[in-house]
Amino acid sequence: MTNGTERRDAEPLWRRLWNNYVVRNVVLAVSLLVIGLFLVNVLLNIFTRHNKYIEVPDLEELTLDEARQLIRRKDLRIEVNDSLYVAALDPGTVLEQQPAAGTRVKPGRRIYVTVNATQQRIVDVPYVAGYSLRQAWNILATAGFRIERLEYVSDIATNNVLEQRVGSRRVTPEHPVQARMGSGVVLVLGRAADAARVTVPRVVGLTLREAESRIWDAGLNVGGIEQDEGIDQKTIRQARVWRQTPDQGSMASLGSRVSLALTLDSARLSKGVSSSDRQAVQAARHAVRERVVRDSLAAAGFSGEQLQFETEWQLKIERGEATPEERAAAEAELIMQSLENYGTAVDASEEEDEFFH
């Protein structure tokens, strides 16, 4: 016993620990865990290509075949997920890509592209009568249509869609209309008597698409579009509005037109933004004065079209843009027109009575 004990005491500490069943199993378990983690890390680096990135090339305006060849050389994949129609570009041209050019991605990443179709698809025009202007615009835009023009008629509710047309064809649930995507839709909207004027939104600095959306959302129409030299169907998406007429903050009648000027020149755009901000201050003063005049006339008993007429002419005279004589002439013309309309209505009523009697 003594000799055996002495031999065990003479053994190195690591051997005594290793001969211990519990210690040996713990060491083996930890070793296996470390080896397993190491192998997992190595395999993850191999299969996920850790720290290996590829810069996405610019595919826009390439043909689909050219884009595919370039993508293969970059060890990426390409997939067409949508198509649009741009008349100025060849069919099959890449219009947009996601992720954008310059983005760093892993090898094998799928790049989604939108290509130019041979022609616009013909689809049903959504029926949007009964919706608000904003809802109708969103529905039409989602379906691939745009607003051609907003028309306003007297109604109890403002910006409620009463009717819609594509060209000369009226869209109804009973008579659906098909048209090419990208076609314009005319919306006929209601206008309450107390909502004839709106504030012109700021669109300077925006792209044409963004500006159109903001103008339509305000109940206004897009007027003439002036383009700097060098802007065409290929570059118009990068162009920005540098001037708008009327200026932001001005008051305008529902359905009025806002004219735009587009540029690719950053210096001109910067000057346009500064000028627009200065003019907005003056427009805001005019808007405040218009509200004061309108409220004063409304308190005096004016309403509806008469309120609008008196407000516009009083402001014109205050600013020196018209004379009292011109206002009187305009009022006389308005009265004559009202009498003519009344006479036409009376004649029609008499003819109807004679027909039934």
How far is it, in rounded angstroms, from Cα 159 to Cα 349? 32
List the CATH number of the domain containing 186: 3.30.10.20
Give yes or no: residues 157 and 133 share one domain. yes
Among 136, 169, 192, the domain boundary falls at: 192
Among 31, 48, 65, the domain boundary falls at: 48
The verdict on residue 329 lying in a domain is: no
Instruction: Judge whether 60 and 89 are in contact, CB under 8 Å.
Output: no
Rounded to an integer, the average pLDDT of 182-193 is 91
**Cα separations in angstroms, 333 against 134, 253, 327:** 36, 20, 10
Under the banding of pLDDT at 50, 70 and 90, the label for residue 84 is confident
Rounded to an integer, the average pLDDT of 156-167 is 93
- Return the pLDDT at 122: 87
Give yes or no: residues 64 and 96 share one domain. yes
Encoding tokens for residue 312?
A: 């516009």
* Cross-strand partners of 161: 189
* Cα 202-86-208 angle, rounded to 5 deg: 5
Q: Which residue has the higher pLDDT, 278 or 160?
A: 160
Q: Residue 275 above 90 pLDDT?
A: no
Encoding tokens for residue 305?
A: 């079209």
**Cα separations in angstroms, 225 against 126, 137, 239, 257, 283:** 27, 21, 12, 11, 22
Give yes or no: residues 188 and 131 share one domain. yes
Under the banding of pLDDT at 50, 70 and 90, the label for residue 355 is very low
Sign of CA pseudo-dihedral 106, 108, 110, 113: positive
Q: Residue 295 above 70 pLDDT?
A: yes
* Cross-strand partners of 150: 187
The verdict on residue 127 lying in a domain is: yes
The verdict on residue 95 lying in a domain is: yes
- Return the pLDDT at 305: 73
Give yes or no: residues 188 and 133 share one domain. yes
Closest C-alpha among 101, 27, 119 to residue 61? 101
Rounded to an integer, the average pLDDT of 62-73 is 91
Percent of the chain beyond pLDDT 70?
A: 87
Q: What residues contact 220, with CB distance under 8 A and at least 6 apart?
A: 150, 198, 200, 252, 254, 255, 256, 257, 258
Give yes or no: residues 8 and 38 share one domain. yes
Q: Residue 356 above 50 pLDDT?
A: no
Q: Cα 142 to chain center, whole Å?
A: 10
Q: Residue 112 above 70 pLDDT?
A: yes
Q: Residue 337 above 70 pLDDT?
A: yes
- Return the pLDDT at 9: 56
Q: What residues contact 69, with CB distance under 8 A and at least 6 apart?
A: none
Q: Which residue has the higher pLDDT, 239 or 237?
A: 239
In three-state form (DSSP H/G/I as H, E/B as E, the rest C), the secondary structure along the chain is: CHHHHHHHHHCCHHHHHHHCHHHHHHHHHHHHHHHHHHHHHHHHHHHHCCCCCEECCCCCCCEHHHHHHHHHHCCCEEEEEEEECCCCCCCCEEEEEECCCCCEECCCCEEEEEEECCCCCEEECCCCCCCEHHHHHHHHHHCCCEEEEEEEEECCCCCEEEEEEECCEECCCCCCCEEECCCEEEEEEEECCCCCEEECCCCCCCCHHHHHHHHHHCCCEEEEEEECCCCCCCCCCCCEEEEEECCCCCEEECCCEEEEEEECCHHHHHHHHHHHHHHHHHHHHHHHHHHHHHHHHHHCCCCHHHHHHHHHHHHHHHCCCCCHHHHHHHHHHHHHHHHHHHHHHHHHHHHHHHHHC
Number of CB atoms found within 10 A of residue 156's CB: 9
The verdict on residue 154 lying in a domain is: yes
The verdict on residue 182 lying in a domain is: yes
- Return the pLDDT at 342: 57
- Return the pLDDT at 37: 83
Instruction: Judge whether 102 and 54 are in contact, CB under 8 Å.
Output: no
Rounded to an integer, the average pLDDT of 147-152 is 95
- Return the pLDDT at 316: 81
Q: Residue 193 above 80 pLDDT?
A: no
How far is it, in rounded angstroms, from Cα 148 to Cα 260? 16
Encoding tokens for residue 343?
A: 């006479």
Range of the domain at 81: 54-116
Give yes or no: residues 17 and 69 share one domain. no
The verdict on residue 16 lying in a domain is: yes
Under the banding of pLDDT at 50, 70 and 90, the label for residue 172 is very high
The verdict on residue 270 lying in a domain is: no
- Return the pLDDT at 177: 93
Top mean-pLDDT range of 49-58, 256-265, 324-333 = 256-265
Mean pLDDT, the chain, integer? 83
Give yes or no: residues 32 and 85 share one domain. no
How far is it, in rounded angstroms, from Cα 333 to Cα 339? 10
The verdict on residue 292 lying in a domain is: no
> Is the whole model's pTM more than 0.75, yes or no?
no
Q: Residue 30 above 70 pLDDT?
A: yes
Q: Which residue has the tokens 């810069």?
A: 55
Encoding tokens for residue 130?
A: 């009964």
pLDDT tens digits for range 116-138? 887 778 899 999 999 999 999 99
Lowest mean pLDDT among 236-240, 251-255, 352-356: 352-356
Rounded to an integer, the average pLDDT of 67-91 is 85
Q: Residue 80 above 60 pLDDT?
A: yes
Q: How many folded domains does the chain comprise? A: 3
- Return the pLDDT at 331: 80
- Return the pLDDT at 221: 96
Rounded to an integer, the average pLDDT of 235-246 is 91
